[in-house]
Amino acid sequence: MPGDVVVKIENLSFTYSSGDRPALSNINLEIKRGEYLGIMGLNGAGKTTLGLSINGIVPQSTMGIYEGSVTVEGLDTSTTPVREMARTVGIVFDNPEFQMSQVSAAEEVALGLENLGVPNPEMPPRVSAALATVGLAGFEERSPMGLSGGQQQRLAIASVLAMQPKILFMDEPTSNLDPIGKEEVFELARKLNRDEGLTVIVAEHESEVLAAYADRIVVLNEGKIFMIGTPSEVFSRGAELANIGIRVPQATELALALSTSGATGLPVTTGEAIEWLESRA
C-alpha cells in the first residue's frame, strides 16, 4: 500500500569499535513506501552508516556498539540475516567498477540470484527483464568492464532489481561518473520510483540533484539529524546549512539573496526560480 511506513528507525545509535565518536546518534526516522528520500551531509556525517543499518550490514557485519532499532517491512535488520535482507533492500555503491566481478553483464546480474538460490532455469528471463528495466536490453554478453560508468551503475542497479527489492539505497552513486552518467542513473532511479513504486534512498552531496528528485531530504551532521523536510523546506534554511558546510541549490541561493529575512517556501530548481521571480515582478 503506498504511503505506509516501510522503514522505521527508532533511537538508533551506532559507534564503530575503532570510532572515537558515534557514527549515528539517536536517529528517529520513518520512511514511507514509494518515497524518494535524499540523505545529505559532509563526509563522515553518517550517510553510509545510516544506509547500511537499513539492510543490516550495520550492525551484523561491522563491529561496534548498536542501540535502538531498525525495522524494514517489519523485519528487524539487526537480526534478520543480511542475505535475507537483500531481498528487501538493494544497495548500489559509489564505485561501479568495484561492484563488477563477472565476465558478462548477464553473469553479473545472475550472481545475486544464485546467492538467493533461484533455480537455474528461472534465471535467464529474470536477468533479461532486469537488464531491460535499466535500459540494457541486449547487453547480456557484454563485458561489464567495457561499459561506460553510467552503464555500469545501471548494471549494478539491474543486479539488485533482479532480487525484486522493495527499497533501493544508492550511496553517492554518481560521484565517479561524468554528467551524462549521472543523469542516466538519476533518471533511472526516478523511473523506478514513479513507475514501479520502488522506495528510493539516495546519499548525495549535490543539492541540485536532490532538489530535482527527492520528496524529502534528511540532513545529517556528525551522526545526528540536523534537519528534515521537503527540498524547499530544507534549502530555505540556507544560512543554517552553510554553518555545517552544506550549499543550497543555485536557484535557492538567488532567492535567498533577493529575499528579506525569514523567507520560506523558496525555489529549489531553475524552473521554480523563474516562477518565483515572475511572481515578485
Instruction: Please give the residue ranges that form the binding site for Mg ion (CB under 5 A).
Output: 47-48
19 binds ligand ADP (CB under 6 A): yes
Does residue 35 contact residue 215 with C-beta atoms inside 8 Å?
yes
Amino acid at 141: E
**Pairing relationship of beta strands 224-229 and 216-221 according to DSSP bridges:** antiparallel
45 binds ligand ADP (CB under 6 A): yes
23 binds ligand ADP (CB under 6 A): yes
Given the complex with ligand ADP, which of 29 and 147 has the nearer CB atom? 29
Q: Please give the grid coordinates belonging to residue 280.
A: 515578485
Stretch that binds ligand ADP, among 12-20, 98-106, 211-219, 240-248 (CB under 6 A): 12-20
Residues 6+ away with beta carbon under 8 Å from 28? 9, 10, 11, 12, 225
Does residue 130 contact residue 110 with C-beta atoms inside 8 Å?
no
Which of 1, 3, 18, 179 forms a contact with ligand ADP (CB under 6 A)? 18
Given the complex with ligand ADP, which of 85 and 161 has the nearer CB atom? 85
Size of the site for ligand ADP (CB under 6 A): 12
Name which of ligand ADP, Mg ion, none residue 23 binds, using a CB cut-off of 5 to 8 Å depending on partner kind: ligand ADP
46 binds ligand ADP (CB under 6 A): yes
∠ Cα 12 14 20 (to 5°): 145
Does residue 7 contact residue 32 with C-beta atoms inside 8 Å?
no
> What residues make contact with ligand ADP under the rule CB under 6 A?
16, 18-19, 23, 41, 43-49
